Amino acid sequence: MWNEPCKERLSKIPKLYETEEIPLKDKLIYLHFFVGGCDWYIAEYDGNDLFWGYAILNGDFVNAEWGYISFSELKAIKVEGWLEIDCELEDLWRVRKAGTIDKIRI
């Protein structure tokens, strides 16, 4: 994985179910992972291996959905044996509401 988020950055993400009462469009997105036409937007983290967020696979916006995402599985993904998942750098990704992210609004 390129630019794997540090423990300090991960510690800023709310724990699983902490934002359960917040409408989806208002949930804060703390991390953005991507490779090719795939994007994962992270809103919650269990502190171990499980994220909760929004996933778009292969640019398929019709079937994109909110759900659980394994951090270890993201780290293990390699496209064609060499291209790895990237996490947008902290100074490039600002935490923002899901409803303000174009790919989630689609």
State what percent of residues in the chain have pLDDT above 90: 82
Residue 16, token pair as written in the block: 């699983």
Which residue has 């902490």 as its token pair? Answer: 18
Q: Which of 58, 57, 85 is nearest to 71 (CA)?
A: 85
pLDDT band per the 50, 70, 90 thresholds, residue 103: very high
Report the chain's mean pLDDT, rounded to a whole number: 94
The better pLDDT of the pair 80, 45 is held by 45
Average pLDDT rounded to a whole number, residues 65-83 = 90
pLDDT at residue 1 above 90? no
Which residue has 């996490």 as its token pair? Answer: 87
Query: What pLDDT is attached to residue 79?
Result: 81
Average pLDDT rounded to a whole number, residues 42-48 = 98
Query: What pLDDT is attached to residue 26?
Result: 98
Name the phi and psi angles at 42, rounded to 5. -105, 125
